[in-house]
Amino acid sequence: MPLALLALAVAAFGIGTAEFVMMGLLPNVAADLGVTVPTAGWFVTTYALGVVIGAPLLTMLGTRLPRKLTLILLMGLFTLGNFVASIAPDFGTLIIGRVLAGLPHGAFFGAGAVVAARMVAEERRARAVATMFLGLTVANIVGVPVGTALGQHLGWRATFLVVAGIGVVAMAALARLVPPLPAGERTGLGRELRALAGRQVLLGLLTTVLGFAGVFAFYSYLASVLTKVTGFSETSVTLVLALFGIGMTLGALAAGPLTDRALRPTLYGSLAALAAVLAVFPLAAPHKPLVLVAVVLIGAVGFMTTTPLQMLVMEKAQGAPTLAAASNQSAFNLANAGGAWAGGLALSAHWGWTSPAAVGAVLATAGLAVAVTAGLLDRTKEGGCDVSRVVARGGAAEEPVEASAPAGHRG
């Protein structure tokens, strides 16, 4: 694997830390700014909205720029957003900082996925993309706990100042390690949108929204389950959540080679395993040893879905793999918000603290159903798109693409 993937992973680490650390700092931020914790929840929501808006918008604006320059500029915007957050004197300024930090999130991972895939041999493309996403998983093991502790001892502004510093380091690493890569051919907005509106791409995005919503229906309320049902102390919750991050990392490590060998079977298997573990979690919740195992498994199989989903939409969006990959990040953030909302509905209905896990099992099953349907529909069509050829052309599809994808990338 080229060293340039390290630069992408460092950037992903910073982005992952910025996205999730606010959840642990909400009480501190709320108290400092004089708002309630539910009101402070807007600092999480507005980041996600920034991702959803910025992913397609900034991706389309960046199509005419060299890939390397695009990555550096996106990290520059991310760094600026976190710096604004670190000096925010009031609610409104912090909202602006969070939106600015969220805007480049999806576009960076979209462009980064294409860059990572272009730097390695065809049979290692999924592993390259998974390596980049390792930075995101490590953020949940190291970045979020350390950032939360830092914010609790030195103030939440110190956390975002450090994240801005990580952004500067990532920009330097990108400038030094990523080789010059040309921009994609100017295919035009109409062709980009038509590629994104393909049936297989839309089904892939829907699979992301439903399947990954199952993870966040569970994860959003895990801390409450651990204290109220399992009986862990509040000080122990951080360590258990770190186990979830370890599971995510294990899932990302396994997803790369498995996706390179068999894309759709990896997606089917991970979604099925996710639904199964979520379904039995309520039975394991009262027992500490079983909960620890379940948390690692859910993190692993949940994050194992990300690489095949990312590669799938890149493969099927013949004329716009970067836009599709970025839009998939918007879908992940819609899943985050939708999963938390669905889990909250179950709690509001007084179904019990473990009910969000059951809701997550239903959502993961729905995602599996969509994925299987898409696979069956894909088999009825001749050909398909070879992601290696699309990525190699930088996202253009001026001529028909032959059905030459390897077995692991065929529907």
Q: Which two tokens stand for residue 24?
A: 């642990």
Do the beta carbons of residue 2 and residue 120 sit within 8 Å? yes
- Residue 45: the pLDDT is 76
- Take residue 9 and report the two structure tokens written for it: 């992973």
Q: Which domains does the chain have, with CATH numbers?
A: 1-186 (1.20.1250.20), 188-411 (1.20.1250.20)
pLDDT at 191: 65
With contact defined as beta carbons under 8 Å apart, do 130 and 6 qualify?
A: no
Chain segment 110-168, per-residue pLDDT in tens: 888 888 888 888 778 888 888 888 888 888 888 888 888 888 889 999 999 999 999 99
Contact yes or no for 97/84 (Cβ under 8 A): yes
pLDDT at 37: 65
Q: Where are the beta strands (DSSP E) in 101-223?
A: none
Do 151 and 329 form a contact (C-beta atoms < 8 A)? no
Measured distance CA(240)–CA(221) in Å, rounded: 13
pLDDT score at 185: 52
Instruction: Point out the residues of the chain with pLDDT beneath 70.
Output: 1, 37-38, 182-192, 195, 319, 381-411
First to last CA, the chain: 27
* Tokens encoding 118: 């272009």
Concatenating the DSSP letter of every residue in 367-378 gives: HHHHHHHHHHHH
pLDDT number for residue 361:
96
